[in-house]
């Protein structure tokens, strides 16, 4: 069980991925919470699959516009410069490489950057939504997830056992334990969560991790 404190630190760390002027798509669930930790003055353009560029902050039930949800079904707002468009335009934007960054959840990430986040055969078959386009075409794909699944198994694996969403697409993995880059040489451990030892990270990771000689930063 991941503590809410560890989860919060992961969210705050992922928020540092987002830079001024970026166009960003945040996946449903934990990734949508990242924006709460990004300075609104950074002029980040949030894209939502259902046809919004420039998604504004979430609103309460009382403030909600019945026609204004994001792709996760949350009621959101507009801000100066928001644009609406149809679903074909929305994904033209994705496939043409106009997204600087997407932050997605995952069931498994393999050491070569393969991502599985859309299907658990026989158990979880909600469909694919826009995950394949986002994973394949955003210029940078980062994953945020718990390091272990509910059974305690590593979600960072040698090869995905689940049906993949896209192959060799992940650039970086954020978990409650570590920050790991997917490089041509394999997985590189970059940072460790506060209070976690290197041995704990290595023991919790099925895929081989390369570790730099210098002391690793914590988050």
User: Residue 212 CB, nearest distance to another protein (Å)?
Assistant: 31
Q: Given the rule CB under 8 A, which of 32-40, 88-96, 189-197, 210-218 is the region that contacts another protein?
A: 88-96
Select 68 or 178, whichever has its Cβ closest to another protein. 68
Select 129 or 186, whichever has its Cβ closest to another protein. 129
Site for another protein in 109-138 (CB under 8 A): 119, 125-133, 136-137
What are the structure tokens assigned to 70, written together?
A: 């994001």
Helix, strand or coil, per DSSP, at residue 171: coil
Contact 182, 209 (CB under 8 A): no
Measured in residues, the chain has a length of: 219
Cross-strand pairs, 191? 179
CA distances from 163 to 38, 124, 142, 153 (A): 33, 12, 19, 17
Q: Which of residues 68, 104, 141, 142 is near another protein by CB under 8 A?
A: 68
Work out whether 157 is an interface residue with another protein (CB under 8 A): no
Contact 6, 176 (CB under 8 A): yes
Select 167 or 171, whichever has its Cβ closest to another protein. 167
Work out whether 71 is an interface residue with another protein (CB under 8 A): yes
Work out whether 152 is an interface residue with another protein (CB under 8 A): no
Helix, strand or coil, per DSSP, at residue 48: strand
- What's the burial of 154, exposed, middle or buried (CB within 10 Å: 0-12/13-18/19+)? middle
The DSSP 8-state label assigned to residue 185 in this structure reads T
Q: Which of residues 75, 112, 206, 219 is near another protein by CB under 8 A?
A: 75
Q: Is 19 a catalytic residue?
A: no
Instruction: Catalytic residue, from 17, 19, 49, 191: name it.
Output: 49
CA distances from 198 to 65, 174, 177, 202 (A): 48, 15, 10, 6
Q: Which of residues 167, 186, 188, 198 is near another protein by CB under 8 A?
A: 167
Q: The tokens 């040698």 sit on which residue?
A: 158
Radius of gyration of the chain (CA): 17
Site for another protein in 46-65 (CB under 8 A): 48-52, 61, 64-65
Residues that bind another protein (CB under 8 A): 48-52, 61, 64-71, 73, 75, 78, 84-88, 90-92, 94-95, 119, 125-133, 136-137, 163-167
Catalytic residues: 49
């Amino acid at each position: 069980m991941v503590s809410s404190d560890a989860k919060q630190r992961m969210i705050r760390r992922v928020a540092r991925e987002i830079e001024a002027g970026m166009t960003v798509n945040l996946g449903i669930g934990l990734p949508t919470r990242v924006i709460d930790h990004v300075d609104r003055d950074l002029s980040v353009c949030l894209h939502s699959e259902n046809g919004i560029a420039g998604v504004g902050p979430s609103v309460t039930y009382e403030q909600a516009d019945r026609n204004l949800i994001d792709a996760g079904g949350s009621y959101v707002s507009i801000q100066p410069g928001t644009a609406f468009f149809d679903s074909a335009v929305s994904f033209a934007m994705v496939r043409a490489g106009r997204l600087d960054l997407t932050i997605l959840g995952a069931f498994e990430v393999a050491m070569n950057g393969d991502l599985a986040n859309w299907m658990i055969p026989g158990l979880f078959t909600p469909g694919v939504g826009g995950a394949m386009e986002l994973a394949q075409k955003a210029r940078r794909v980062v994953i945020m997830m718990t390091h272990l699944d509910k059974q305690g198994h590593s979600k960072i694996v040698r090869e995905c056992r689940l049906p993949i969403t896209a192959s060799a697409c992940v650039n970086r993995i954020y978990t409650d334990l570590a920050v790991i880059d997917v490089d041509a040489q394999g997985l590189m451990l970059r940072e460790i969560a506060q209070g976690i030892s290197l041995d704990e990270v290595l023991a919790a990771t099925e895929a081989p991790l390369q570790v730099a000689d210098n002391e690793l930063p914590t988050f």
